[in-house]
Amino acid sequence: MTDAASSPPSYRVWALTGLPEVQPGDDLAKLIASTGPGLVDGDVLLVTSKVVSKAEGRVVAAADREAAIDAETVRVVARRGGLRIVENRQGLVMAAAGVDASNTPAGTVLLLPEDPDASAARIRAGLRDALDVEVGVVITDTFGRPWRSGLTDVAIGAAGVRVLDDLRGGEDRHGNALSATVVATADELAAAGDLVKGKTAGLPVAVVRGLGHLVTEADGGARALVRAAADDMFRLGTSEAVREAVTVRRTVREFTDEPVDPGAVRRAVAAAVTAPAPHHTTPWRFVLLESAESRARLLDVMRDAWVADLRRDGKSEESVAKRVRRGDVLRNAPYLVVPCLVMDGSHAYGDERRATAEREMFVVAAGAAVQNFLVALAGEQLGSAWVSSTMFCRDVVRGVLGLPDAWDPMGAVAVGRPAAPPKERAAREASAFVSVR
């Protein structure tokens, strides 16, 4: 605490001007020194990762940015539509693995520095040699944050800076013990610099003066800011994501015209085939109707078969028309999937009771797979409706789709973007469906 006569704590931050366009092979420390930055001991330089990547030749030709993201990804943490939050090679969890297609020539992308801490150390050493000053260096990049809107700069590399200020074991002004307070000082510095660098001003380097107590030789680099897996309560987010998907899953009967991403459907199929099944079998097949022609051909033939069945049952033409209209949910969807059951690997029994039970096991497995599929679609923000109509004309469906005789269509799933928010679902008290013995 300062006394009344002393100045209150303060710092100054400004952007450096005069830095030329950085090219592969450039010595960033020399470029910064050439601007006459007037650095003094205890200053902290905040350097945007893009210029570090350019200097280090991390500009790569990439006609497909997604392929570059794949190459830099260690694991996918979350996915929504085309956006992926991933852990990249540097251990950072961020959007698109940090692969950037802005501020770089068309047909190329920028990858993050291979080792941002080492990059920061080289810049720091270069400035010491060129200007005879002891400064800290922070390499920054832009992140979104869970639970918060908007972007901010954070530290992805650091040298000569106390990246974390561990206050645990101390006391606040009221004598309360600090048991969990660890301040991310390097991230705070990065955000302060971003206020003057900006995203479009072309000023990639900022200086902070007045926080010399954060400049130290005993730094561990920005890698220390990455939370260890054992301490990360939201590392996978699996249970939260599944609960959310189960909660929001609804039968959707009206869809927009927006095309469905085939990749999202295939990811849902990947979830579907993790369902349990008897005898270590894989009794599911998913027929994806991605063309309007294939959907129309199937639905036209099914409609004719359905009408013929209803008329044989003695239904009136009005009743027939009403029932056929129920199939409009399939006709109006931009994507259809026909899940099928195959009995490969099932056991043969001469006893009818056991044979029936055997088939029921496989049917239950098919239902589990379809449920997985619907929940995964909801996780992709896709609506769906599972309609049983193909089960009433399996031979017709097999014929028009060219399916093997052993494939039993188990309904059809309409898939698309919901045209309206789902209606509120009546509350269901779980205890009403539980019987305890």
Write the pLDDT tens digit of every residue in 165-186.
Answer: 877 667 667 777 666 678 899 9
Q: Are 123 and 224 within one domain?
A: yes
The percent of residues in the chain predicted with pLDDT above 70, rounded, is: 93
Would you say residue 293 has pLDDT above 90?
yes
* pLDDT band for position 2 (cuts 50, 70, 90): very low
Residue 80 in any domain: the answer is no
If asked whether residues 221 and 247 sit together in one domain, one would say no
- Residues of the chain above pLDDT 90, percent: 64
Q: Are residues 211 and 266 in the same domain?
A: no
pLDDT at 31: 96
Q: Is residue 67 part of a domain?
A: no
At 244 the pLDDT is 61
* Mean pLDDT, rounded, of the chain: 89
274, 198: one domain: no
Closest by alpha carbon to 60, among 107, 17, 14? 107
Structure confidence at residue 82 as a pLDDT band (50, 70, 90): confident
Are 181 and 252 contained in the same domain? no
Q: What is the model's pLDDT at position 320?
A: 83
Domain assignment present for residue 335? The answer is: yes
pLDDT at 240: 53
Quote the pLDDT of residue 392.
87
Residue finishing a domain among 231, 266, 291: 231
> Looking at residue 353, what is its pLDDT?
94
Highest-pLDDT range among 4-13, 60-69, 188-197: 188-197
Q: How confident is the model at residue 279 (pLDDT cuts 50, 70, 90)?
A: very high
Which residue, 231, 261, 288, sits at the end of a domain?
231
Is the residue at 24 inside a domain? yes
Higher pLDDT, 229 or 22: 22
Per-residue pLDDT, 62: 80
251 and 318 in a single domain? The answer is: yes
Task: Choose the final residue of a domain: 201, 231, 261.
Answer: 231
Q: Are residues 385 and 415 in the same domain?
A: yes
Same domain, yes or no: 245 and 334: yes
237-260 per-position pLDDT tens digit: 555 566 666 666 788 889 999 999
User: Does 81 have pLDDT greater than 60?
Assistant: yes
Residue 259 lies in a domain: yes
Q: CB-based burial of residue 309 (10 Å sphere; 0-12 exposed, 13-18 middle, 19+ buried)?
A: middle
Between 101 and 139, residue with greater pLDDT: 139
Q: Is the pLDDT of residue 324 over 50?
A: yes
210 and 286, same structural domain?
no
Domain that includes residue 326, residue range: 238-433
pLDDT at 437: 94
Q: Is the pLDDT of residue 284 over 50?
A: yes
- Structural domain contains residue 26: yes
CATH of the domain at 316: 3.40.109.10
End-to-end CA distance of the chain, in Å?
66
pLDDT for res 242: 64
Question: Residue 192: which CATH number?
Answer: 3.30.1330.100
Q: Is the domain of 222 the same as that of 258?
A: no
Using the predicted structure, report yes or no on whether residue 370 has a pLDDT greater than 80.
yes
| Residue among 11, 239, 222, 206 nearest 118 (CA) | 222
251 lies in the same domain as 198: no
Residue 88 Rama label (left phi>0; alpha psi -120 to 50; beta) = beta
- Residue 108 falls inside a structural domain: no
Any domain includes 198: yes
Same domain, 199 and 244: no
Q: What is the per-residue pLDDT for 238?
A: 56
Tally of structural domains, the chain? 2
Per-residue pLDDT, 233:
76
